Amino acid sequence: MLSSSIGYYSLILGLISSLFLVYLSLKSFRDHHFLNTKILSFTFLQFMFVMTSFISLIVSFVLSDFSNETVFNNSHTTKPIFYKIAGVWGNHEGSLLLWLLVLTLFTLIFLLKTKGQPLKYRILTILFQQIIIIGFFIFIIKTSSPFNYIFPIPKEGLGLNPILQDPILAIHPPILYLGYVGSSIIFSSALAATVLGLITKKWASHIKKWVLASWIFLTLGILLGSVWAYYELGWGGFWFWDPVENVSLMPWLVLTTLLHCILVLQKRLILTSWVIILSISTFTLSMSGTFLVRSGILNSVHTFANDPERGIYILIFLFSLIFLSIIIFFFFHKKNESENESFFWLSKETAILINNWFMMYFLSVVLIGTVYPIFLDVITSEKISVGPPFYHKLIIPFLVPFLIFMAIGPKLKWIKSNIENKKTLI
């Protein structure tokens, strides 16, 4: 019971530190001295509060403290210590606390690794990050606390879902969350750079590291999930177009596209609109996946919760972030003069742009196949399932031209191709 109390009040203190960080970020626009002293200190303090809360939950699981409702629902006394710890994030409440922990960790890393960036850019990025973090703090404390009490205290717990008791699935969620949450830095950074007019080659070089890291973690997380599904669920393949598989695939498609656009921006200072929109879309799609999974409206083996209040909260929070992003994009984004120049038809830029549109088509197919059954159910109360045949018919015919352009792209030169380059193609 003591560890649960420590965990809960650490969350409260973490929320208070977030509110202080918002205040300090706003104040730092007038006095930059705050950035290197108080903002960094409170960011570290915020991370430590969330870390304390997370460790408290681990202790509750290890000690089989069944006065904690989350422990009671996801563990029992005879469970191996490995699966007791894995049970911490094998449920709705614990997984959200893990998400929050990674959020605060990445925010701290961003501050420590960007000392050479403009001060106002760092401040604004932290401000946008704190808006996201505060949203998660309130969501966890109000609707999804992993520290709720049970009385009288049960003698034994219910245990972790048997299909989740797997070594791969124990590490799959943390790695996947590193990819998801890494996109929050990309989102906040893009908004800050847009407001300040800093979408430059230097910014592209800086943010490319975060895009690549997020892409690597998300790719690894998806691969681990596919391997687990292959031998645990018996689907007969590594990918079955399950709705929650699709939810992780959509931000991966956007991240892949963004990674290529960042390279173009870094080289030629064009495609700025693409970069901003994709940076926003990556995180909003990750948040959309959170909404679909946590609300329980998806019929999937991966879903954790079925609570309308949670779904409504995330939906409101998601639309607020999207609305803020749209306002910033339309009011602050100004295209560079170089973007008005037309592309030479046989250039690396053109190949990347064509591949971008292919990726957006694939994204649209996956998005429609995932959300269409939901809208149909709401409008007509008719339940349908969109399976592999739908995706195969719409995606496979476009794979060949997509792969052709993907193979040609590296052979082309920037800006335009010369005669020697054309001979190489032939």
From 83, 103, 86, 105, select the one nearest 94 (Cα to Cα).
86
**Which pLDDT does position 158 carry in this prediction?**
85
The domain spans of the chain are 1-165, 188-426
Provide the strand spans (E) within 37-155. Answer: none
Residue 136 CB coordination number (10 Å):
25
How many Å apart are CA 243 and CA 383, to the nearest integer? Answer: 14
Structural element, H or E, at residue 376: helix 348-380
Phi, psi angles (nearest 5°) of residue 153:
-75, 125
How many Å apart are CA 218 and CA 212, to the nearest integer? Answer: 10
Structural element, H or E, at residue 45: helix 40-62
Task: Tell me the average pLDDT across 81-86.
Answer: 89
Question: Cα 55–61–62 angle (5° rounding)?
Answer: 85
Ranges 318-322, 335-339, 420-424: which has the least confidence:
420-424
- 323-359 residues labelled b (16+ CB within 10 A) or e (exposed): eebeebbeeebeeeeeeeeebeebbbbbbbbbbbebb
How many Å apart are CA 282 and CA 211, to the nearest integer? Answer: 10
pLDDT, one tens digit per residue, over 361-394 is: 999 999 999 888 878 877 887 878 788 899 999 9
Confidence of residue 339 (pLDDT cuts 50, 70, 90): low
How many Å apart are CA 245 and CA 224, to the nearest integer? Answer: 11
- The pTM of this model reads 0.89
State what percent of residues in the chain have pLDDT above 90: 50
**Which pLDDT does position 307 carry in this prediction?**
62
Rg value, the chain, Cα:
23
Residue 159 CB coordination number (10 Å):
17
Task: Tell me the average pLDDT across 330-359.
Answer: 77
How many Å apart are CA 333 and CA 199, to the nearest integer? Answer: 9
Q: Is the pLDDT of residue 44 over 80?
A: yes
pLDDT, one tens digit per residue, over 109-162 is: 999 999 889 989 999 999 999 999 999 999 999 988 999 998 888 888 888 777
142 exposure class (CB count in 10 Å sphere: 0-12, 13-18, 19+): exposed
Bigger pLDDT: 329 or 345?
329
Q: Where is mean pLDDT largest: 185-189, 246-250, 419-423?
A: 185-189
Confidence of residue 424 (pLDDT cuts 50, 70, 90): very low
From 166, 148, 137, select the one nearest 18 (Cα to Cα).
137
Phi, psi angles (nearest 5°) of residue 149:
-95, 155
Residue 21 CB coordination number (10 Å):
24
Q: Where is mean pLDDT largest: 23-32, 141-150, 164-173, 183-192?
A: 183-192
**Which pLDDT does position 297 carry in this prediction?**
61
The amino acid occupying position 229 is A
pLDDT, one tens digit per residue, over 6-16 is: 999 999 999 99
Confidence of residue 238 (pLDDT cuts 50, 70, 90): confident
Confidence of residue 423 (pLDDT cuts 50, 70, 90): very low
Q: Is the pLDDT of residue 46 over 90?
A: yes
Confidence of residue 168 (pLDDT cuts 50, 70, 90): confident
Q: Residues 48, 129, 15, 34: what is their CA dihedral angle, to the nearest 10 degrees?
A: 80
How many Å apart are CA 52 and CA 3, to the nearest integer? Answer: 10
Average pLDDT across the chain, whole number: 86
pLDDT, one tens digit per residue, over 267-321 is: 888 889 999 999 999 999 998 877 777 655 655 444 444 566 777 888 889 899 9
